Every structure is written in structure tokens, then in C-alpha cells.
Structure 1
Amino acid sequence: MSRAFLVVLDSAGCGHAPDAASFGDEGANTLLHIHERVGLKMPNLMRLGLGQAVGISDVKPEGLHGVAREVSLGKDTPSGHWELSGVPVPWDWHYFPDTTPSFPPEISAQVAKFCGTDGILGDCHASGTEIIERLGEEHMRTGKPICYTSADSVFQIAAHEESFGLDRLQQLCQHMAPILHAMNVGRVIARPFIGTDASSFERTKNRHDYAMEVPSPTLLDWAKADGRATYGIGKIGDIFSGRGVDENRKGFDDVLMGHLSNLVDEAPDGALVFANFVEFDSLYGHRRDPEGYAAHLEWFDAAIGPILAKLRAGDLMLFTADHGNDPTWEGTEHTREQVPVIGAGVGAKDIGQVMFVDVAASVADHLGLSERGPGRSFL
């Protein structure tokens, strides 16, 4: 029985979407601009067809290749992943204004009341690493949590894992999540960090996303309904609120690559493995670091080579992205982009322009699932 591995390179977009101008992103192109700035040596994914999807190679590809377009009105993680799994977002997300303060007073008051403090820190749009460096020492001194947002529909809370407490941070996020979800804020994210001062602060692997519930069954649910084993790697369990996931394996990207390798060895016939590699986005896209992004892409490509070689006859491994985050672009936010769709296990095939929901339909088609969703299979 066939298996399927759906692998998301978080933020690895390949050109502005048709509606990018309405997001302020016309001209953004994450992978092309990295290649133009730094150069990309990715022989494994280029061999499959990444170069054709990005427009940087005319070498005849050996794998499935094309470009996918999103219809959900967002450029964020839940929108992208939900739609890739067959469920476009049926509502408008709530976004906080780029002002200081950013949050309604009643939201800030709820956070402070839970913590027993006379206020919060931050209350603005910010880069996660920058705001921890700027406010981390005051947070440790006062106990006030650091609350910030971005151009995404998100409420993030940073706190010191030891002085504030990881359990306490997670309890705070659990308390705030239903309040913010009722406003159509997509995610509340716990952002723990460690260190003794601004020069040593660093975020830990214990991030946790408290996401809104997906409004209808996804590819993961379809697979479970048909009795298939389902695995999440990285943020997948958080993005889908644990729904449809039998087992989720977490860690930094190097650890996640080990999980993916192990599941290629271990996953039973008929299994679905859904993976997210987030550090392209979190460490390099938001920090506008094209050199670091390029190096991480090349690390990924080198590491995926031996894994591709282990795929069984009948396996499908698709590589795609959920949005863009052009590290050469202005600001620090995601960019509204189309994404590459590259596949191993089904031979050479140019699928051209497809939609995000077609990815879910194609994986379901490959697995022989009863449900296909609104998309059309490109297999």
C-alpha cells in the first residue's frame, strides 16, 4: 500500500501571488531573490524540478514540479497549512494594528490579571528575538510577560522559562487562547526563552502554538477516517490542534530531519506523514538574512538526499511551502507568494499552475482515500 510524505519548507515561496499588491508584496520572491543574492546549490531538489518552479533552471527535471496558489486571505502558517490540507479559511482573520499599544486594553488587562502584575511589556508589533533582547531583563525584574504581534493574526507571549516558568507561560496561553480565538485571532504562541541578560537570551525548543480549531475535516482527518496511521513532524500537531494526528514529533530542524528519516524507515503501509520545517521562516526570513536562509536550504537539500534514496516503491514525497518570507524584502513579515510543489516517487511530470487544495486532493488520491476535498488531483 502506498505511503505519502508531505513536507513543508516554511516560507519558501517562489514569486508574488496575483493579489500580492493588496498585501504590499508585489515583486516579492523568496527563493529567486535568495538565489540572485547568494546562489543556491541544491542538487537534490533541483534535480526533481525546483529550478523550473522557481525559474532559475531549464535542466530537464526528474520529478513532479509546479507552482501552487492560495485563495485564503492570509499569508500565515494556519492559512497555508489548512488550505494545503484541503480546507481554505472561511473567515477573515483579526489583525492587530501596527501601533503602540497594539492590543485592546481588556486583552492586556486579562493577561496582567492572570499573572498578578500591574501591566504587560511590549504591546506592539515586533521581531521575537529583538523584543526579548530589548525587554527580557525588565521582564525578569518585574515578572510582566512580553506580549507582541506581527502582520499575522497572532498574539505571542514571551517569558523566561526559569524565572517566569514554562508551565505558567503555557497556562497563561491556554487561558488567553479562547478569548483571542473568539476575536478570530488565529494563534496564541508561547515563546519561552532562557539566559541571564540581553547578550545571552535565546528562545528554546518549547514553543507551543495554541491555534484555532480547523473548521472542517482535513487531509489528516480523511486519512484517520480510513484507518491510516498519521504522523506530524514539527508544528503540525499545534497547527491542527492535535486533530487527525496519531503521533507528533517535535524539535529543531536538525532533529526533525532525523524524525523524517526514521519515519521513512518505520511508517507502515498507507501512512500519511505531514512535516513542517520552520527555521527557514523563524531564523532567516523574519530576520532578513538571505545568507542564512541559503545555507539552511542547502543543509536541507544535502540532508534530504539520503532520505529520498530510502523511499519505497509506491511512496510519494511532496515538498512545498505555506507562504513566502523574502529575506531581501522590506520589513520583517511574511510575503504573499505562490509556492513550489516538487515531488519524488511519481516520475517526471510538469503540473504547471495548481491550487493549494490540489495538494491535499493529490495526496488523498495517492493514498486511495475516500475523501478528496474541493481540490483536483494533479497525479
Structure 2
Amino acid sequence: MTRAIILVADSLGVGQAPDAEAFGDAGANTFHHIVQHMDKIGDPIKLPNLQKMGMFNICAEANNVTYPNLPEVDLIASYGYMAEISSGKDTPSGHWEMAGVPVLFEWGYFKEKQNSFPQHIIDQICHEAGVDGILANRHAPGTDVLTWFGEEHINTLKPICYTSVDSVFQVAAHEEHFGLERLYDFCLVARRVLDEHNIGRVIARPFVGEDVNTFKRTGNRKDFSVLPPAPTVLDKLFDAGGDVISIGKIADIYADQGITEKYKATGLEALIDKTIEQIKSTATEQTIIFTNLVNFDQDYGHRRDIVGYAKALEYFDSRIPELLACLTKQDVLYITADHGCDPTWPGTDHTREYVPVIAYGPSINAVNLGERSTFADLGQTLSKQFGLAQLDYGTSFWTDISK
């Protein structure tokens, strides 16, 4: 009997994927470019624990780069890097694929940069939700729309609706003036309307504050996702009587399917705290504790904040000893990502990259897993770890890492 703890370092790509050119991302490399930038400004990034877990080896092998200034260390974890076969570089595709179900169909997208949503869709959503209209209707970063439209939203109570290159319809609204539950209800209407257009996610983005100087997103974000197209490893463990504990936005990404418990937390510190709390308090067998560390992506990747991303990685690294100290003999900690979001890259969108896969546990070998052809290798490994039926995609590396 066993337990798995999965930490998704949201957007921590490790170099251009084999098909990156098709996405306009040839040359993107989230981790390496952060390291390079910190060296350039004279503040080298310090990640001693991730180094021992193979993080620098992963990026070096995936991209044929070197890190000559690093001290030599004994590696304590198995490590490799995974390519994505899903059609997009979005959050649901990455997460579903790592759980064994790649997205091999094309999502619907709102491709126009301005007037992104067709009028008939806006009219239908507004009519069914009982609002007078929307603001924005464009591609935009989530923080910018608050600056551009926040005060007008308070005055008109029209929700701020925007999108990106991902298959997404995002809605920002004031928690008090518009109302949090009203925002969720509006998003539920949008979710129903957009189902026929194959839009992956509708995201509620609540905020507070009274003017452009005080507007701030809250921790009450909620994603309204479509269901994965097939049972994931989470479903299979759930059906076998195991537990799947969601921390952060995991439950939203999987539309609550295959989830037995869910916990919200806001900020990197709180997400790690909640993960440690669950490691200490939950059953030590047939359990997945699944955490998305969203702040790497939303606070630093999309905002192209290189130094902020580096400091967040250093903070994460500083908490790793606490995480490892909580593990029982049969536990396995996996660290991975769902896509890239290179903060040195033009624009504010995700980047098509390899992602790391790290496996550590008291009963786990430290081996080089090399290049993996799909994120689904992680799902297949979890399936093998828990003695579940084989998934349709992926190749397990369980026999390679287990002693």
C-alpha cells in the first residue's frame, strides 16, 4: 500500500518542446532563462534542494546547456523531462495528460484580439444571467483589465470578460459591489452557453478595492471546466476506494471528477502549508495528495516578472526539506509542471515546453529517467504504483524507480 504526493509547479517549463516552433515558442525555456537572468544581474539563483533532486540536470539534458558554477552534489531523486502530446499548451490539457488522458482534439478559441466574443454569445449569456452587458471583450492580462475597466465595472456592474490564446472565458467582478455568488452564477451561465463551442474553461476572477490603486484579486477564484474526455488515474483510484485530495485549483481543473476532498489556499506559502498538513493528517495508503502551485504562473510567468519567479522558486526550494521530512517509507513525492510560461518571452501567454518530472521517496531509486514522450507517463506510473488498470496512454517508469 502506498501514497503519492504530486506538486505541480505551475508553468515551470524546462525548454522548448519538440513541436515548440508550431506554437511560436522555439527557444522558450522558463527555468534556464530565469537562471541566466539572475546570473546576469549578479544575484545567482539558489536552489540547493532542487539541485539535489536533479532540476539542473533535467534542464541541461533537455536543452544541451551547462551550469559550470554549480557545486557537485549527490542526487537523491529520479529525474527526467516530459513532452506534451495534447493539442494545446493550456492548464487543463497539461493536467489531464499527466493524469493519463491527453487532449487530442482541438479546443475552441476566441482568436480575435479585440471584440473577441461574438455578439450572439454575449447576448445569450447576458440575457440568461440578467446583466446589461459586459466590459473588455478582448485578449488581455488579468491584472491589466482591473486597471482598465475596474472603476467602470463598479459604476455599471457590467462584468469584465476577457480571454487569451488559451481556450478560456475569464470574468472579473467585484466581490462586494457585484457579489461573489452572482459572479459564480454568471460563470455557470457562461459555462452552459460555451459548452457547444468547446471552450475549455470559464474562470471567475473576483477582486476587491475601490480604485485602480487598491484593486486586488482575492483567493476566491473558481474554474468551471469541462470534464476530461476519459477516466483519469484519479477516477480509477477513486473507483478502487482510494482517496484523491485536491489542494488549490486541482478540483476545478478536473471538474471535481475523481476528487474525494478539496482544500483551497491562497499563495505559495499557504498551498505548501496545506500540503504538509494533509501529508501529516491523511491516510498513508491508497491516497493521492495533489497540489497546484499556481503562483509561479499567475503571479510571475504571465506578468513576466523574472526576479519574482526566481525568488518564488527559492522559497519553494527552502520548504522542500519540510516536505521530505513528512514522508513515510512508502510515500512518493512527484514534482512536475503543466506547461511553460517563460517570463523572458514576448507576450504574456504560456510557452510550449518540456516539463520536469522528479520522483523522490525513502523507497525510490535515484535514476535518470531521460526524455519521456508524453506527460501521460506520470499517470501510467501512478496507475502502476497503486495497482490499478493500465491507462490507454503513457509508459510507466515505476519499475525503474522503485527499490
Q: TM class, shorter-chain normalised?
A: over 0.9
Q: 1:353 aligns with which of 334, 346, 371?
A: 371
CA distance in 1, matches of 2:128, 2:49: 50
Aligned to 1:34: 34
CA contact (8 A) 1:4 1:271 kept: yes
Map 1:43-122 → 2, pairs under 5 A: 43-55=48-60, 56=67, 59-122=73-136
Q: 1:165 aligns with which of 175, 179, 189?
A: 179
SS of 1:256's equivalent in the other structure is helix
Matched, 1:214 2:222: no
Q: 2:299 aligns with which of 271, 275, 283?
A: 283
Aligned to 2:64: none
Task: Please state how far the C-alpha of 1:98 moved relative to its aligned partner.
Answer: 3.4
SS of 2:197's equivalent in the other structure is coil
SS of 1:182's equivalent in the other structure is helix
Q: Which amino acid letter does the alignment assign opposite residue 54 of structure 2?
A: G
Task: Please state how far the C-alpha of 1:338 moved relative to its aligned partner.
Answer: 0.6
105-114 or 177-186, which moves further after superposition?
Answer: 105-114
Map 1:222-241 → 2, pairs under 5 A: 222-241=236-255
Task: Please state how far the C-alpha of 1:206 moved relative to its aligned partner.
Answer: 0.4
CA distance in 1, matches of 2:24, 2:216: 31
Q: 1:260 aligns with which of 275, 292, 300?
A: 275
CA contact (8 A) 1:181 1:187 kept: no
Q: How many residues align?
A: 379
Q: Which amino acid letter does the alignment assign opposite residue 132 of structure 1?
A: L
Aligned to 2:352: 336
Task: Please state how far the C-alpha of 1:72 moved relative to its aligned partner.
Answer: 0.4
Q: Which amino acid letter does the alignment assign opposite residue 344 of structure 1?
A: Y
Change (3 A) 1:114 1:132: farther
Q: 2:336 aligns with which of 296, 320, 334?
A: 320
CA distance in 1, matches of 2:244, 2:392: 18
* 1:201-248 superposed Cα distances (whole Å, 9 cap, x missing partner): 000000000001111100111111211111111111000010100001
CA distance in 1, matches of 2:163, 2:381: 35
Aligned to 1:19: 19
264-273 or 286-295, which moves further after superposition?
Answer: 264-273
Matched, 1:182 2:187: no
Aligned to 1:309: 325
CA contact (8 A) 1:231 1:274 kept: yes
CA contact (8 A) 2:302 2:348 kept: yes
Aligned to 1:2: 2
Q: Which amino acid letter does the alignment assign opposite residue 354 of structure 2?
A: Q
SS of 2:161's equivalent in the other structure is strand
Task: Please state how far the C-alpha of 1:304 moved relative to its aligned partner.
Answer: 2.2
51-60 or 63-72, which moves further after superposition?
Answer: 51-60
SS of 2:368's equivalent in the other structure is strand
Q: 2:288 aligns with which of 272, 284, 291?
A: 272
Q: 2:215 aligns with which of 198, 201, 222?
A: 201
CA contact (8 A) 1:37 1:290 kept: yes
Task: Please state how far the C-alpha of 1:111 moved relative to its aligned partner.
Answer: 3.2
105-114 or 268-277, which moves further after superposition?
Answer: 105-114
CA distance in 2, matches of 1:333, 1:104: 22
CA distance in 2, matches of 1:10, 1:95: 22
SS of 1:188's equivalent in the other structure is strand
Change (3 A) 1:187 1:12: same
SS of 1:319's equivalent in the other structure is strand
Task: Please state how far the C-alpha of 1:115 moved relative to its aligned partner.
Answer: 5.0
Q: Which amino acid letter does the alignment assign opposite residue 260 of structure 1?
A: T
CA contact (8 A) 1:111 1:120 kept: no
CA distance in 2, matches of 1:100, 1:169: 23
Q: Unpaired runs of 5+ in structure 1?
A: none
Q: Which amino acid letter does the alignment assign opposite residue 7 of structure 2?
A: V
CA distance in 2, matches of 1:262, 1:351: 30
56-65 or 86-95, which moves further after superposition?
Answer: 56-65
363-372 or 352-361, which moves further after superposition?
Answer: 363-372
Task: Please state how far the C-alpha of 1:324 moved relative to its aligned partner.
Answer: 0.2
CA contact (8 A) 2:87 2:104 kept: no
Task: Please state how far the C-alpha of 1:62 moved relative to its aligned partner.
Answer: 1.7
Task: Please state how far the C-alpha of 1:179 moved relative to its aligned partner.
Answer: 1.5
Map 1:132-151 → 2, pairs under 5 A: 132-151=146-165
Q: Which amino acid letter does the alignment assign opposite residue 148 of structure 2?
A: R
Aligned to 2:41: none
CA distance in 2, matches of 1:263, 1:71: 32
CA distance in 2, matches of 1:41, 1:201: 33
326-335 or 266-275, which moves further after superposition?
Answer: 266-275
TM score, norm. by length of structure 1: 0.97
CA distance in 1, matches of 2:10, 2:358: 14
